[in-house]
Amino acid sequence: MERVLNKAIKIKEHLNEQYIEIKKDDFKDACVYLYEEKHAILRLMFATDERQIDGVFRIYAVFSIPGIDRFFIIVLPLKEDDTTFPSITPDIPTAHWYEREIKDMFGLTPKGHSDLRRLVLHDSFPTNSHPLRKDWNITESDLKEWGEGIKQKEPYKFMEVEGDGVYEIPVGPVHAGIIEPGHFRFSAVGETIFFLEPRLFYTHKGTEKHFESMRLFDGVRLAERVSGTSSFSHSAAYCMAVERIAGIEITEKAKAIRTLLLELERLYNHIGDIGNMCAGTALQVGYANGAIIKEKLMQLNERLTGSRYLRGVNVIGGVTKDVFLQSNDILSTIDTVTREYKEFMKLLLGSVSHIDRLENTGMLSKEIAQKLGITGVAARASGINDDIRKAHPHLLYDMLEFEAHTMARGDVLARMMVRAEETECSISIINTLLESNYAGALAAGINDIPAYSSSLGYAETPRGPVFYWVMSDKDGKLFRVKLRSPSYCNGPAVPFAVHGNIVPDFPLCNKSFNLSYSGCDM
């Protein structure tokens, strides 16, 4: 690390976060050094508008090195009259969406990036309008055209594939059924997919901008509504970030409750996802069985917390409910679910037609997964041993015995089997947690929030790790919140996974990644 630290113009330490501020000429070299020499993972990358503090924008690139519970955060200040920064995408492909998003939302241009088309903002959004700048505003005429979406101010040009027998199949953004909007443009030869270009970000809700109008303690309610399937993970990560800013140490009991509910959230999602994959192979009995078991777990959630999605439990400083008072209900339900889950998996693994469709379908190599920064179940199914519960232990995970499950196949079957292994792991963790008593109150006392302080919060959701980077302002409100969902990392993997597959296998392949399109779109 000396090579990077020697070039620092400012270094700040905060818990397991090391902020290394660096000059523009050294930014790319520092990032590439961490990536290539230290095999660091780019966890997230974002910008802030800190002009009202010290007159600059800042780019933050957050890395972690496998085996080290520490985040190395390369920080680049940019003055308002020089809004370009060296793109790291040519060397670190993981950065390609992050840099395009920074250009859209802040007007900071990654110099050397090969694709500067808009990512988040669509065609009718006003030119030179960057919503996450603090002084952003929009004219009445722009607002009307934007809302009606009539005038294309920056038309989006899809990539074109030419050659004998190549034809295009446009799908979406509006789909049959209750799924999110997303456009998929296939270039196919016969039934075989030669190239796929997806376009997402049709559901931009301005979540990060909305955070900036809220008090830190109120932000938890917004965080737990970012993703229905990962409500508890999002609120846990957000609370963790604010608690780290305020120096709040939550009690052992609060840690145990959060750990238990994170595993319950993983459990109902994984079993539901395994069932959903059956819809892609027309194994309806499998789809129905997965839905029945998932429903039993969601009803347990409601009995424990009053919310099927585990909302309303996390608060800054701890939790509001002692779910261990209902241990007998949890144990009884988990026993029933465990028996039914084993029968469910026996059914699936014994269905030759189902397994045949999963094997060798939607293969994603470890090499491509690493370059794209794929995370969570999708990464582990391609042989990448990365689980934020092990990489950066938090709550009670450092006291629990479990391993991250990986497979080398990288196909749809591997993504199902990693979920299956993790389901059994979550059942074991839940049973272990219920064997002990935990000391302390539900919530710790609240400290003052220091002005313009920041910290990371994180959790391993059923899809993969979610990160929150939270910064306070001088009045106890949120100055900036960057949240990064696992779907944001995994969306770019789908075109690589479906290459060479037949078009009818796309839904199956897509379900195996279980992306949330709106979960990308903050």
Q: What is the pTM of this model?
A: 0.96
pLDDT at 517: 86
What are the two backbone dihedrals, phi and then psi, of residue 276, each rounded to the nearest 5 degrees?
A: -60, -35
pLDDT at 149: 64
Triad 136, 455, 265: Cα angle to 5°: 100
Triad 158, 163, 167: Cα angle to 5°: 60
Task: Give CA–CA dist 267/421, Å, rounded.
Answer: 11
Task: Give CA–CA dist 241/481, Å, rounded.
Answer: 10
Q: What is the DSSP letter of 415?
A: H
Q: What are the tokens at 479?
A: 């100055």
Sign of the four-CA dihedral 175, 178, 182, 188: negative
pLDDT at 3: 81
pLDDT at 307: 97
Task: Give CA–CA dist 224/100, Å, rounded.
Answer: 26
Task: Give CA–CA dist 250/317, Å, rounded.
Answer: 6
Q: Which residues contact residue 197 at a Cβ distance below 8 angstroms, ignoring those fewer than 6 apart?
A: 158, 159, 184, 185, 187, 495
Sequential pLDDT tens for the chain (522 residues): 778 888 899 999 999 999 999 999 999 999 999 999 999 999 999 999 999 999 999 999 999 999 999 999 999 999 999 999 999 999 999 999 999 999 999 999 999 999 999 999 988 888 889 999 999 988 887 777 776 666 778 889 999 999 999 999 999 888 877 778 899 999 999 999 999 999 999 888 899 999 998 999 999 999 999 998 999 999 999 999 999 999 999 999 999 999 999 999 999 999 999 999 999 999 999 999 999 999 999 999 999 999 999 999 999 999 999 999 999 999 999 999 999 999 999 999 999 999 999 999 999 999 999 999 999 999 999 999 999 999 999 999 999 999 999 999 999 999 999 999 999 999 999 999 999 999 999 999 888 899 999 999 999 999 999 999 999 999 989 999 999 999 999 999 999 999 999 999 999 999 999 998 888 888
Q: What is the DSSP letter of 515?
A: -
pLDDT at 180: 85
pLDDT at 139: 81
Task: Give CA–CA dist 304/327, Å, rounded.
Answer: 10
Locate the DSSP E strands across 245-336: 314-315, 318-319
Task: Give CA–CA dist 323/252, Å, rounded.
Answer: 14
Helices (H) and strands (E) in the chain, counts: 19, 15
For residue 465, give the 3-state DSSP assignment.
strand
Single out the residue of 222, 266, 228 nearest to residue 428, CA to CA: 266
